[in-house]
């Protein structure tokens, strides 16, 4: 008997006579009157059990597929079983006592016979189990291992269904508040599965963990360390997936001036943006219409860049935009050493080795580790003709920090200078070498010597290299190795002091213009109040809330001036104290992502003759065929010209009469002389 119909003979036990009832109709009636349909429920439940036992017996007989050699060869049998499973899942909340063991039977059926079931039946039974899970009849902790095993099967629809269910159920569980007990139980299941030798199970567990970490559902140190430990899995596919996730999680800054963007001292939490009034006035009132349009567009770009810098600075203080799973390593030194040892012994292809080099370099730079053997390893590959040499140099830059002894990096540094920066090197190689030298010297200034600096300065005459300028303080010297600067003041207090000094200078200039009425006052009386104020300022170092608010405003103005000066909207002479380039701190450099593309100079290469021809032909495609100016005027579309309009202009009445009379007269003269015209002598006479 098909599962979608219940005949009258089946209902005779309950004393009820009826026509054939479909399962959806019976389901709706059971929800309205659960007690009146217990007989039908027991009948359908017994049919479900018998079908499940039949499929389980076939699975025990080692059938490769129930659909190929058994009861599942008939598609109606599999469809009936799926319909009964879905029907029972819908009515389970209304019959908790009668269907108490149904969820466990469904789980056991999928665990034992999922591999031999037809694809449609597998998906239907899985959907029935998901329905029970959504109604909280079954806990996800009991079925997580089953859903991970279902993802291993070669069934694309089932894999997507099981994966999406695991992700959404865990997200829903942590939507209102974090349930640490449940999360730890689920994490222990996935982490143990990640360490298994079975590559398919480990891959699916890694994909699930990474997706939950990316969605910030499992955003804790345990999950980050589990992903990092996957880099040491025996399977190369698992290792590559973990390395790819760690590298893709890094958000590389693609700003045109990366140095200026990383020179923000503190986060700016002001929602408004301060722009100079002079720039706004020029954009709106001075110049022609086209120049005003350009100035306004330039001003809008400045405002957008300032807002972006403020957002980045605020996110930097909140540690949200600059987070990486590598930051949460419990044993960063051990992780870097173990991964570097695997790099030295692995026989993977070059791309995989480059991924390992990037992760090791990023770990060394983030945690300021000492891995002295890493720099000689990179030195072997530092050649201009090396494949992906810019990414390799970017990894070398990221592995440098102020805690590394300069002697350990000096051979690598000299190798870069000797191989890239010399007279016979190509322009592109010289530009990449100078960029790498600058980035390394920002992190380890002691590597730069006076002779080397004089040699490198000579390359600034080349048009392809940008001269970064020099710092405003000529007496500045790099700190010695191990030297630490201890701050003794509130960050930004110097801006407040500079503003007070400017105010004092203004007051002094105003006082000099006054009459000399106080000439009789002694010098001691005049100096005494100034000394008292200085002493009070030196002893009282407490700042009020208004002072901190003023410091924020001054920082915003300073950032605005820097952005305007960078975009050419503010003259350098207008503010001599402002500097466009400022050396970033070691903390900012450790967080800075260095991309190999940023090390390459944007140099315009000389095109060949074929490339120039192709460029010329590409420009001619839109111009069309050449035409004379007169032909263009004749074929022009749109309105008529003034001369054409004059021809169509209505003539006065007198002009019309004279024109008619003149044409009549000419016609009469033509008729008179029509037959008297000499037509020549005939040739045959």
The CATH code of the domain that includes 216 is 1.25.10
What's the confidence (pLDDT) of residue 276?
Answer: 65
- The answer to the question of residue 369 being in a domain is yes
- The answer to the question of residue 262 being in a domain is no
- List pLDDT tens digits, range 131-142: 999 988 888 899
Instruction: Give CA angle at 347 (192, 411), nearest 5°.
Output: 110
Q: Could you give the CA distance from residue 513 to residue 599 in angstroms, rounded to a whole number?
A: 56
Residues 343 and 242 in one domain: no
pLDDT top residue among 464 and 199 = 199
- The answer to the question of residue 296 being in a domain is no
Least Cα distance to 564 among 308, 294, 299, 309 occurs for 299
Q: Could you give the CA distance from residue 148 to residue 537 in angstroms, rounded to a whole number?
A: 67
Mean pLDDT of 377-389: 88
Using only C-alpha atoms, the chain has a radius of gyration, in whole angstroms, of 42
pLDDT above 60 for 387: yes
Counted domains in the chain = 2
pLDDT above 60 for 230: yes
- List pLDDT tens digits, range 596-628: 777 776 556 677 888 888 888 776 666 667 778
Residues 79 and 198 in one domain: yes
Domain boundary among 248, 278, 294: 248
Highest mean pLDDT among 8-22, 360-374, 417-431, 473-487: 360-374
Per DSSP, the residues of 595-647 read -HHHHS----PPPPHHHHHHHHHHHHTTT-S---HHHHHHT--SS--HHHHHH
Domain boundary among 229, 248, 267: 248
pLDDT top residue among 34 and 243 = 243
- The answer to the question of residue 620 being in a domain is no
- The answer to the question of residue 174 being in a domain is yes
**Helix or strand run (H / E) with residue 313:** helix 289-318
- The answer to the question of residue 503 being in a domain is no
Residues 233 and 344 in one domain: no
Category of 89 on φ-ψ map: left (φ > 0), alpha (ψ -120 to 50) or beta: alpha
The answer to whether the beta carbons of residues 303 and 275 sit under 8 Å apart is yes
Cβ neighbors of 444 (< 8 A, separation 6 or more) are 400, 401, 402, 404, 406, 409
SS3 call for 465: coil
What's the confidence (pLDDT) of residue 599?
Answer: 78
Residues 93 and 201 in one domain: yes
CB atoms within 10 A of CB 461: 8
- Residue 427 Cα distances to 394, 414, 420, 459, 465, angstroms: 19, 19, 9, 10, 9
Residues 240 and 343 in one domain: no
Residues 228 and 364 in one domain: no
Cβ neighbors of 657 (< 8 A, separation 6 or more) are none
The percent of the chain in helix, strand and coil, each rounded to the nearest 5, is 65, 0, 35
- List pLDDT tens digits, range 31-80: 888 788 888 888 888 888 888 888 777 766 755 544 445 555 557 778 88
Lowest average pLDDT, out of 317-321, 446-450, 564-568, 655-659, goes to 317-321
Residues 244 and 349 in one domain: no
Residues 182 and 56 in one domain: yes
- List pLDDT tens digits, range 272-325: 445 566 777 777 777 777 788 888 888 888 888 777 777 666 655 544 456 788
Residues 88 and 229 in one domain: yes
Least Cα distance to 127 among 172, 156, 171, 157 occurs for 157
Residues 86 and 228 in one domain: yes
Q: Which domain, by its residues, includes 440? A: 339-464+488-494
The answer to whether the beta carbons of residues 355 and 247 sit under 8 Å apart is yes
pLDDT above 80 for 227: yes
Mean pLDDT of 553-576: 64
- The answer to the question of residue 256 being in a domain is no
Domain boundary among 191, 222, 248: 248
- The answer to the question of residue 95 being in a domain is yes
Residues 52 and 180 in one domain: yes
The answer to whether the beta carbons of residues 233 and 242 sit under 8 Å apart is yes
SS3 call for 331: coil
Q: Could you give the CA distance from residue 541 to residue 595 in angstroms, rounded to a whole number?
A: 43
Residues 374 and 231 in one domain: no
The token pair that represents 394 in the structure block: 């970017």
Q: How confident is the model at residue 573 (pLDDT cuts 50, 70, 90)?
A: very low
């Amino acid at each position: 008997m098909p599962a979608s119909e219940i005949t009258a003979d089946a209902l005779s036990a309950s004393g009820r006579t009826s026509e054939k009832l479909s399962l959806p109709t019976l389901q709706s009636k059971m929800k309205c009157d659960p007690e009146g349909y217990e007989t039908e429920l027991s009948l359908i439940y017994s049919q479900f059990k018998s079908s499940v036992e039949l499929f389980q017996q076939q699975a025990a007989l080692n059938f490769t597929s129930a659909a190929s050699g058994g009861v599942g060869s008939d598609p109606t049998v599999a469809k009936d079983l799926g319909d009964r499973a879905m029907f029972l899942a819908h009515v389970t909340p209304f019959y908790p006592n009668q269907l108490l063991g149904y969820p466990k039977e469904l789980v056991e059926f999928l665990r034992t016979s999922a591999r031999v079931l037809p694809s449609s039946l597998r998906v239907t039974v899985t959907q029935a189990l998901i329905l029970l899970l959504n109604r909280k009849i079954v806990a996800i902790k009991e079925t997580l291992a089953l859903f991970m095993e279902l993802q291993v099967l070669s069934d694309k629809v089932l894999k997507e269904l099981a994966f999406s269910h695991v992700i959404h159920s865990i997200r829903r569980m942590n939507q209102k508040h974090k349930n640490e007990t449940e999360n730890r139980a689920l994490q222990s299941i996935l982490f143990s599965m990640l360490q298994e030798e079975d590559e398919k199970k480990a891959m699916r567990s890694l994909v699930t963990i990474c997706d939950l970490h990316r969605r910030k559902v499992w955003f804790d140190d345990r999950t980050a360390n589990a992903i990092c430990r996957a880099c040491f899995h025996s399977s190369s596919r698992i290792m590559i997936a973990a390395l790819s996730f760690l590298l893709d999680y890094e958000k590389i800054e693609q700003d045109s001036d990366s140095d200026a963007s990383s020179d923000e001292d503190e986060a700016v939490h002001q929602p408004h943006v301060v722009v100079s009034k002079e720039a706004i006035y020029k954009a709106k009132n001075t110049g022609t219409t086209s120049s005003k349009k350009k100035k306004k567009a330039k001003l809008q770009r400045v405002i957008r860049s300032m807002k972006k810098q403020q957002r980045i600075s605020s996110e930097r203080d909140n540690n949200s935009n600059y987070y990486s799973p590598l930051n949460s390593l419990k044993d960063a030194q051990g992780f870097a050493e173990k991964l570097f040892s695997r790099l030295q012994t692995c026989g993977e292809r070059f791309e995989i080795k480059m991924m390992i080099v990037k992760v090791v370099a990023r770990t060394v730079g983030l945690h300021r580790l000492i891995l002295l053997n890493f720099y000689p390893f990179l030195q072997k590959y530092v050649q201009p003709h090396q494949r992906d040499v810019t990414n390799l140099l970017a990894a070398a830059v990221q592995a440098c920090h102020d805690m590394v002894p300069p002697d350990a990096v000096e051979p690598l540094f000299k190798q870069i200078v000797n191989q890239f920066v010399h007279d016979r090197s190509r322009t592109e190689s010289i530009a990449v070498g100078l960029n790498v030298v600058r980035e390394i010297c920002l992190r380890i200034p002691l590597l730069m010597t006076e002779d080397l600096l004089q040699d490198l300065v000579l390359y600034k005459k080349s048009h392809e290299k940008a001269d970064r300028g020099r710092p405003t303080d000529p007496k500045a010297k790099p700190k010695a190795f191990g030297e630490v600067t201890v701050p003794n003041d509130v960050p930004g207090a110097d801006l407040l002091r500079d503003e007070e000094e400017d105010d004092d200078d203004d007051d002094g200039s105003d006082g000099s213009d006054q009459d000399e009425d106080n000439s009789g006052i002694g010098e001691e009386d005049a100096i005494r109040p100034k000394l008292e104020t200085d002493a009070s300022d030196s002893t009282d170092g407490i700042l009020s809330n208004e002072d901190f608010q003023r410091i924020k405003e001054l920082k915003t103005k300073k950032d605005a001036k820097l952005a305007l000066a960078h975009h050419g909207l503010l003259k350098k002479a207008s503010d001599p104290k402002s500097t466009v380039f400022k050396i970033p701190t070691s903390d900012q450099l450790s967080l800075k992502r260095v991309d190999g593309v940023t090390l390459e100079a944007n140099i315009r290469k000389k095109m060949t003759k074929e490339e120039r021809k192709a460029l010329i032909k590409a420009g001619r495609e839109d111009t069309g065929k050449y035409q004379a100016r007169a032909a263009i005027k004749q074929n022009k579309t749109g309105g008529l010209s003034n001369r054409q309009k004059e021809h169509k202009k209505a003539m006065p009445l007198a002009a019309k009469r004279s024109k008619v009379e003149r044409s009549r007269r000419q016609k009469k003269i033509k008729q008179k002389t029509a037959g008297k015209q000499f037509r020549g002598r005939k040739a045959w006479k």
